[in-house]
Amino acid sequence: MKMKKGPAILVLVGLALLSFLYFLPVTPPENSGLKPEANTEATSDDDALSPDEKVEVALQKLQSGELPPMQAILQIRAVADEHPENVKANFTLGVMSIQTGQYDKAIGRFEKVLEQEPENSEAHRLMATAALQLGDTTHAVEHLEKAGETVTPEMQAGIEQQLKELRVNK
């Protein structure tokens, strides 16, 4: 049985090309062509913003598509790291953690929010959601009860329904 050389050579060339691309050095892109003074102006503008404004700018850039999600998260996290008591940064990171299924991180963020604003019903409600996703119905019930104490009457019915379902399934 004789094997054709054509396919074997093609496979070897393909492997060589893949190896070449794999080991090709990667260099970061050049600074976007901006002059250094333009970069310092942008930095000084950012420095003039309050922590809440920095979070808002990052969220607006995320929504407009100007910033990729990970860069927006890193900017918001930088605000939270620099200002650990900032409610908006921690709340936003908590919501994003729930959206990505990182419930333990969400709980940590909402705990920080609740240290600053113990009556924040939305933080309690989202803390309950995260706890429930982790299988902790006891804490979910506790936080829903706290949320129910401070919500509007329109939201009260929904929270009461959630509590009823949790108590039945507990």
Contact 88, 52 (CB under 8 A): yes
Q: Please check the confidence at residue 25 and state whether its pLDDT lies above 70.
A: no
How far does Cα 149 stand from its chain's mean position?
28
* Domain spans, the chain: 40-169
Backbone angles phi, psi at 137, to 5 degrees: -70, -30
d(CA 161, CA 125): 13
Class of domain 40-169: mainly alpha
pLDDT band of 20, cuts 50, 70, 90: low
Tens-digit pLDDT profile for residues 29-64:
444 444 444 444 444 566 789 999 999 999 999 999
Supply the pTM of this predicted model. 0.70
Greater model confidence, 100 or 9: 100
The CA distance from 123 to 8, in Å, is 62
- At 97, the pLDDT band (50, 70, 90 cuts) reads very high
B/e letters for 149-166, b = 16+ CB within 10 Å, e = fewer, are: eebeeeeeeebeebbeeb
Q: What is the tens place of the pLDDT at every residue in 73-93?
A: 999 999 999 999 999 999 999
pLDDT of 18 above 60: no
User: Over the stretch 100-149, which tens digit does the pLDDT of each residue have?
Assistant: 999 999 999 999 999 999 999 999 999 999 999 999 999 999 999 999 88
